[in-house]
Amino acid sequence: MINEQFKQMLGAKSVIRELSEYATKRGTEIGYDNVFDYSLGNPSVPCPDSYTEAVLDIHQNMNPMEIHGYSPSTTLPSARQAVADSLNERFQMDYAMEHIFMTSGAAGALAHALRAVTKPGDKVITFAPFFPEYIPYVTGCGDELVVVPANTEDFQINFEAFKDMLTEDVMAVLINTPNNPSGVVYSKETIQEMARILQEAQDRFGHDIFLISDEPYREILFDGETYTYPSKFYDNTLSCYSFSKSLSLPGERIGYVAVNPRATDADILVAIMAQISRGIGHNCPSSSVQLAVSRALDDTSDLSVYETNMNILYDELVKLGFNVVRPGGTFYIFPQALEEDAVAFCQKAKEYDLILVPSDSFGVKGYFRMAYCIDTEKVRRSVEALRRFIETEYKR
Amino acid sequence: MINEQFKQMLGAKSVIRELSEYATKRGTEIGYDNVFDYSLGNPSVPCPDSYTEAVLDIHQNMNPMEIHGYSPSTTLPSARQAVADSLNERFQMDYAMEHIFMTSGAAGALAHALRAVTKPGDKVITFAPFFPEYIPYVTGCGDELVVVPANTEDFQINFEAFKDMLTEDVMAVLINTPNNPSGVVYSKETIQEMARILQEAQDRFGHDIFLISDEPYREILFDGETYTYPSKFYDNTLSCYSFSKSLSLPGERIGYVAVNPRATDADILVAIMAQISRGIGHNCPSSSVQLAVSRALDDTSDLSVYETNMNILYDELVKLGFNVVRPGGTFYIFPQALEEDAVAFCQKAKEYDLILVPSDSFGVKGYFRMAYCIDTEKVRRSVEALRRFIETEYKR
């Protein structure tokens, strides 16, 4: 019989998806150019030519049996080695091929990482604001997601609440830096303090607590900042990555888990993830995509447009009197709404063809998210709409 | 902490994989050409040129944003429509796009189909001999796999045992025709009788029993046979397909689930599978692979080599006195061993550099599987080794 659990999920449509569908529908009425659609976190720049060239070269010059053959269950050795080399160079780590597991995007990475280090019934902590898909990812493992309330001062970590909620049955902590939806990058101090608390809790409880670090926005940093790689500060770290944003390949479903070589059981964690694959029907990302991405690892799309857009929006939001933390990366900004009810605020914005996502589904009330992965020209035009919206509705 | 359940799976290495690793190792000693490796079901012919041309054309001429953008959670409409059209034409079905869900190979298809129509604790029936990965697929859903003993007469279905085992808590039946490992294709009579029994059980128990039909070998048929498409005979059928064998693309992880339009809740089953994806980290197969495969749907690799190989082996096995059912398709043959203990038989065969897989892991004792997806020239040479093996060990 139809599984009722999943059937019931059909009713609870994602707020983001509903807004995006509204934007598309509105676009058919007034022209999509006139809809300021800040709903979806979909890259707005093409993949680098190096990726396309890699695909063409592979399919023109390699033996089809080699391109399209089964990957080993632990995924393609050449891709794993390329990722290890790239991470070692960039973050001065010492990964070997054995620590890398190629996955179907960050969703696949998180599915494997979570299952590898928790068992059904365990608790997993994350920090608000958080990406709402963490709920199905965590509950899909049979785990319970525990959300630490936001530090709305600067959207770093609310350490007091974290320490209170880090009980003995928490087996993993899931972070996302740079953060969707806040755009904030955890500072070195934040990572260090979190690592110190986790280390102390491991000692006190006498069991491992794994840090699962979701890093798909790692390459989109502003103001010349460099990335504080969490795994450098805490040995029991599984770094989960996706090339969706850095190479603008969201549809290709390609990413990885990198197991810190000093993590507990680091030598068998990838083999365990290969076993997990058998039960969830994952069985490796596409072999040709693994091959192509291995050749474009250190490239990115032209990501500068996101910083340009951020600057325009941030300056305007400040000018309009919004309380907003300046994003350090990603293509999101997360201002406080001008009324307590963010849903009502975003509802009013729709009348100005501004599609904003209320913060409620990110685990915080009273804020909204703008995904500014759209053309800069449109961002500029949207500023006019934003001004009209605020002046008409809130400054009369 | 490391998940002990998956850690324990590391110990239980697949017999097939162990034999394949032995063959590779032995190959480094005496040259791989001299190892008659019948262990792995890996296609031995390249993909058709039409697939490679589709990949090149897509990457040379389409907008990268369209190639690599996110698929909707129900997967790419153009791919779903192409699959529906192809199945309708081939099997006179009436699928709409809404009934097709693109997946990461047959493993992904089975993971979604099983979760969609069962809940943890339900029973799923399959028929021996069966593909051993059905165990993690089914137990990974929290279901219990019930194995109906083989009908060793002709490897069609053992209906008496099936009727006895089809109890009220069975919610799905998983079949594989053409069958791995027997190579047997279920006859129209078999499918009809199975459908009749299932229909009768549905009526008696007052609940749906879904047929999950795993069909990756559907295109590899011998002796000019045509395929009896199970879904035509039983409405509650989810057909699970993979292009791994027909297009020789096992590494690309591309397949689908086709929901019979007359199945219970046929209109929402794909949406339910999209919800299931969120929990298991699947989130669509690669977009570029979905696009490319849509253009090569009705093509196949040159599959004739498998029939050539089958004929050589079948004739020789009969000549040597083996009890063997003539395969109707696939690239497997499943003869009875010449001693009761198939493991001992296959162990002796290794001394002649014949790598045969004992039947125990397929749920039957006393048989062995040969995967003849290897060069015909090597099949011919292996016949000599087979003769020497049998004459020396069993006809002295």
* Pair A111, B108: CB distance under 8 Å: no
Residue A110's CB is within 10 A of a number of other CB atoms, namely 27
Q: Minimal CA–CA distance to B254: which of B119, B385, B75, B129?
A: B75
User: How far is residue B378's CA from residue B390's CA, in Å, rounded to a whole number?
Assistant: 18
DSSP annotation of B174 reads E
Contact criterion met (CB below 8 Å) for B13 and B21: no
Q: Is A252 on the interface with B (CB under 8 A)?
A: yes
- Would you say B274 and B101 are in contact if contact means Cβ atoms under 8 Å apart? yes
Q: Is B317 left (phi over 0), alpha (psi -120 to 50) or beta?
A: alpha
Characterise A101 by phi-psi region: left (phi > 0), alpha (psi -120 to 50), beta (else): beta
B101 pairs with which residues across the strands?
B257
**SS3 (DSSP) at B51:** helix
Instruction: Look at domain A49-294 and name its CATH class.
Output: alpha beta
**Which residue spans within A25-130 are E strands per DSSP?**
36-37, 100-103, 123-127
Residue B66 one-letter amino acid: E
Q: Are B211 and B172 in contact (CB under 8 A)?
A: yes
The residues pairing with A100 across neighbouring beta strands, listed in sequence order, are A258
The mean predicted confidence, pLDDT, of chain A is: 96
H or E element: which one contains B98?
A: none
Whether B301 has its CB under 8 Å from any CB of chain A: the answer is no
> Is cis: bond before A132, omega within 30 of 0?
no
From B111, B117, B285, residue closest to A3, measured CB to CB: B117
Show residues of chain A in contact with B3, CB under 8 Å.
Answer: 115-119, 272, 276
- Angle of helix B376-394 relative to helix B342-350, nearest 10 degrees? 110
Tell me what pLDDT residue B71 has. Answer: 86
pLDDT in tens, A53-67: 999 999 999 999 999
Chain A residues lying within 8 Å of B207, measured CB to CB: 1
CB-based contact, B284 to chain A, within 8 Å = yes
Q: CATH assignment of B4-43+302-394, given 3.40.50.300, 3.90.1150.10, 1.10.3720.10, 3.40.50.720?
A: 3.90.1150.10
Q: Residue A387 pLDDT more than 70?
A: yes
Phi then psi for B225, rounded to 5 degrees? -65, 155
- pTM as predicted: 0.96
Q: Residue B237 carries which side chain, given as an amino acid letter?
A: T
pLDDT > 80? residue A106? yes
Q: At a CB cut-off of 8 Å and minimum separation 6, what does A242 contact?
A: A105, A106, A107, A109, A216, A250, A254, A255
CA atoms within 13 A of residue B212's CA, in its CB half-sphere: 28
A1-29 burial, b for 16+ CB within 10 Å, e for fewer? bbbeebbebeeeeebbeebbeebeebeee
Of the pLDDT bands very low, low, confident and very high (cuts 50, 70, 90), residue A1 is: confident
Identify the burial level of B343 via C-beta atoms within 10 angstroms of its C-beta, where 0-12 means exposed, 13-18 middle and 19 or more buried. Answer: middle
Comparing alpha-carbon positions, the chain A residue that sits nearest to B135 is A279
- Length of chain A in residues, anyone? 396
Amino acid at the residue A343: V
Per-position DSSP letters for A331-374, written without gaps between them: TEE-PBPSSS-HHHHHHHHHTTTEE-EEGGGGT-SSBEEEE--S
* Residue of A9, A68, A282 for testing the chain B interface, max B β-carbons within 10 Å: A68
Tally of CB atoms within 10 A around B216: 24
Compare CB distances from A286 to B68, B109, B289 and report the shortest one's residue.
B289
Give Cβ neighbours of residue A48 (< 8 Å, ≥ 6 apart): A247, A296, A299, A300, A301, A302
Sheet holding A332-333, edge to edge: A332-333, A368-371, A357-358
CA A186 to chain centre: 14
Cα separation, B295 vs A276, whole angstroms? 32
Least CB-CB distance to B248: which of A68, A112, A115?
A68
Scan for tokens 């990198």, then name that residue: A258
Q: Encode chain B (396 residues) as per-residue pLDDT tens digits.
A: 788 888 888 876 678 888 988 999 999 999 999 999 999 888 999 999 999 999 999 999 999 999 999 888 999 999 999 999 999 999 999 999 999 999 999 999 999 999 999 999 999 999 999 999 999 999 999 999 999 999 999 999 999 999 999 999 999 999 999 999 999 999 999 999 999 999 999 999 999 999 999 999 999 999 999 999 999 999 999 999 999 999 999 999 999 999 999 999 999 999 999 999 988 988 899 999 999 999 999 999 999 999 999 999 999 999 999 999 999 999 999 999 999 999 999 999 999 999 999 999 999 999 999 999 999 999 999 999 999 999 999 986
3-state secondary structure of B126: strand
Q: Count how many Cα atoms sit within 13 Å of the Cα of residue B91 in the half-sphere of its side chain.
A: 19
**Alpha carbons B14 and B27: distance in angstroms, whole number:** 20
Amino acid at B195: A
Range list of H helices, A143-267: 159-165, 188-205
How far, in Å, CA of B76 to CA of B70, rounded? 9
List all residues of chain B from 330 to 389 with a beta carbon under 8 Å from chain A. none
Rounded to 10 degrees, the C-alpha dihedral A277/A283/A286/A287 comes to 110
The CA distance from B4 to the nearest CA of chain A, in Å, is 8
B113: contact with A, CB 8 A cutoff: no
User: Which of A60, A208, A288 comes nearest B1 by C-beta?
Assistant: A208
* Helix B376-394, helix B304-319: angle, nearest 10: 20
Q: Which of B17, B40, B70 to mutate to test the interface with A (most CBs of A within 10 A)?
A: B70
Contact B281 A284 (CB under 8 A): no
* Domain boundaries along the sequence of chain A: 4-47+302-394, 49-294
What ipTM did this prediction achieve? 0.95
- Reference B209, options B218, B200, B217; nearest CA is B200
B142 touches A at CB < 8 Å: no
CA distance B142 to B126: 16
A202, closest residue in chain B (CA to CA): B1
Nearest residue, CB atoms, B286 vs list A44, A69, A251: A251
Read off φ and ψ for residue B85, nearest 5 degrees. -60, -45
pLDDT of A10 over the 90 cut: no
B249 touches chain A (CB under 8 A): yes
Residues 6+ apart with CB under 8 A from B244: B43, B105, B106, B216, B250, B252, B254, B255
Q: Using an 8 Å CB-CB cutoff, list chain A residues near B251.
A: 67-71, 284, 286-288
pLDDT exceeds cutoff 80 at A204: yes
**Rounded to 5 degrees, what angle do the CA atoms A24, A26, A27 make?**
60
| Cβ contact A281–B110 (<8 Å) | yes
A103 backbone dihedrals φ, ψ, rounded to 5°: -135, 165
B211, B176 contact by CB (below 8 A): no
- Best CA proximity match to A354, nearest among A369, A366, A340: A369
| CATH assignment, A4-47+302-394 | 3.90.1150.10
Confidence (pLDDT) at B187: 97
Contact B148, B156 (CB under 8 A): no
Distance in angstroms (rounded) separating the CA atoms of residues A185 and B95: 48
Statement: residue A344 has pLDDT above 80: yes
Tell me what pLDDT residue B91 has: 98
Q: Are B207 and A288 in contact (CB < 8 Å)? A: no
Rounded to an integer, the average pLDDT of A94-123 is 97
With 80 as the cut, is the pLDDT of residue A396 above it?
Answer: no
> What is the spatial distance between Cα B158 and Cα B150, in angstroms, rounded to a whole number?
6
